[in-house]
Structure 1
């Protein structure tokens, strides 16, 4: 079994839409190859604060990343920083806010869009700055990073589901179809990653509402999916998972010391 981890954060994807619209991932569940859990995101249910929550295990009111306009590096240890300190290789194909949080802020596209620097927390990166940057392009970026640099931890973060939600709202065919298209893209890449033994998590930062926004406490804003794939997971149907446990759990999968990070041991195979 491999200790390499791929974390996929499908921005803006609500649990219900993930459950109803992502047929390939549901097919993996029916074949006993994946398990789906429901996770309640931290507050406020906004992107940059929840990137920080997922990657560090620290809720926004304690991290200080309390809205999308807080443009500075994280003050907390992240999966990226902990992995690099442990001698692991890191990579991300992701929105440029991840570069600002864990590498350098502010983001300068000509310097940071393509990153290859072993001294940074995200050592190898393909970052983008347009919300409509095509998800299928982003996954090609991710595969390039995976093949070229063989990272132990790879973050993949597409934005088109969130973009559709902001343009058309939660209860729209465009929002649902963007999730269906992400599922199709995943069906093109996951089989080879599964075959190569990666431990894979597919989740979201937050959901969406009918006002074409998010940030509050509505169920459709806060409840997000977590699909897990891989032999290191218990696949127990009884796990209750907090978003703050994702950081420590991924570190545990990687074999990276993270003493102050919460780990969901029930999610992992004993």
Structure 2
């Protein structure tokens, strides 16, 4: 007994020391590849980026378009670095006029504010990032002289990562975008620029792994782009190649070989902050959420059963992206729905950004920025594009969710609603299967946002079903995503 007690007394502090030693210091590296297309990266010889994808996460994503903002570098990098969309940071072009960086600062600035002891560094081949988007709170901001371009940016990043002790680093490389403008994304020069950038990424990663303290550090590495490019060169418009962006990430808790469809570009800033151990304050109004903590959504479970276009002619052949089959527990009531019309959009449909925006561009479908992965849409405008009779009248119905009588509950959902009379959107709730009670209506344009509707639960109620009814004809559309009902 005495020997056992003595051994235990010795083992306890040793275990504590071992546990303490196992805690690694979190660090973040974000690399921006201006104008890079994920598909072109996969087609090129890019072993370093390929290794990051194989060892971590790959997520294609889509940006906004006009009238929210054009697909330019200013709005793109502002979105990546601040963690909010252009309707908050207010960057509409590369002049940055009227920006709201004081209210929505970059993630390096937020890191400095939350943890002043952290050391932050940024180097960019495009000066407006380090001169304008990133604030003076960042410890070191370097705008690489144009004569040195990406080679100079890379050498500076390598030296800082190899020899310095930074906690959060942003590196911007620009030459892929230059090749896109000059030669087009389908050119051999664009591919060569990707391969050069990949070699530079390799040098940067080698500087990280070659650090003498690397074994005691936990690096989250994220690679992204601000926009895409057309095959013939250029961006700023609403075509799918121009709106394309991506996230490649490795480190932290990310499993190797992961593919995600719910990632949005504001998530990069939120993920960096979370990895550094900084709690996301709801008062910051971030649109991003940490990739480390995915939020399950019933609509996203439908992705494996999405089908290719039936009547739509503008959607690329082979692209899957719609179904009328709701997820478990959900239903769609089409008893009053007109006959005929476009198959894809008859009643509430479940779709993706890539598929839905391809149906008709330039009508603000690209503004559905806060929906993720698969979402629900009622689109009267597209439905009437084929011979039909009657009007659009369809209701999306949630499962019966448990509630507590006499309490309050909060209904939350992400939405985008574009109005044209006599169209109408109506949200109602049915308590214990009773007559639905209207709790919110839509009769004017509502930009993409997260709604929060407080509900007073009647005494004796034990369940609630939420109903989203859209009525209209040759009008516009309504999207719904991320629907939850929780106690207030």
For the superposition of Structure 1 and Structure 2, which TM-score range results when normalised by the shorter chain? 0.7 to 0.9
- How does the TM-score come out when normalised to structure 1? 0.83
- How does the TM-score come out when normalised to structure 2? 0.48
- Structure that is richer in strand per residue: 2
Higher relative contact order (CA 8 A, sep 6+): 1
User: For residues 84-139 of structure 1, what are the alpha-carbon distances to aligned partners after superposition, in whole Å with 9 as ceiling and x for unaligned?
Assistant: 11222111011211221223xxxxxxxxxxxxxxxx22211221363x74322211
Matches within 5 A, 1:1-270: 1-25=24-48, 27-28=50-51, 32-43=54-65, 44-71=70-97, 74-75=101-102, 76-85=104-113, 86-87=115-116, 88-94=118-124, 95-98=126-129, 99-103=131-135, 120-128=136-144, 130=146, 133-147=148-162, 149-194=164-209, 196=214, 197-235=218-256, 236-260=258-282, 261=286, 262-266=288-292
Which stretches in structure 2 are left out of the alignment for 5+ residues?
A: 1-23, 295-488
**Is the contact made by 1:5 and 1:153 (CA closer than 8 Å) also made in structure 2?**
yes
Structure 1 residue 9: Cα displacement: 0.4
Which stretches in structure 1 are left out of the alignment for 5+ residues?
A: 104-119
Structure 1 residue 198: Cα displacement: 2.0
Match in the other structure for 1:110: none
**Is the contact made by 1:56 and 1:247 (CA closer than 8 Å) also made in structure 2?**
yes
- Give the whole-Å Cα distance in 1 for the aligned partners of 2:149 and 2:276: 29
The structure with the largest alpha-carbon Rg is 2
For the residue of structure 2 that corresponds to 1:51, the secondary structure is helix
- Give the whole-Å Cα distance in 1 for the aligned partners of 2:162 and 2:231: 40
User: For residues 209-246 of structure 1, what are the alpha-carbon distances to aligned partners after superposition, in whole Å with 9 as ceiling and x for unaligned?
Assistant: 13421112222112223211213324443452011211
For the residue of structure 2 that corresponds to 1:187, the secondary structure is helix
Q: 1:61 to 1:92 in 2, by over 3 A?
A: same
- Structure that is richer in helix per residue: 1
Structure 1 residue 142: Cα displacement: 1.1
For the residue of structure 2 that corresponds to 1:243, the secondary structure is coil
Structure 1 residue 165: Cα displacement: 0.8
Q: How many residues align?
A: 250
35-44 or 201-210, which deviates more: 35-44
- Give the whole-Å Cα distance in 1 for the aligned partners of 2:163 and 2:140: 10
For the residue of structure 2 that corresponds to 1:258, the secondary structure is coil
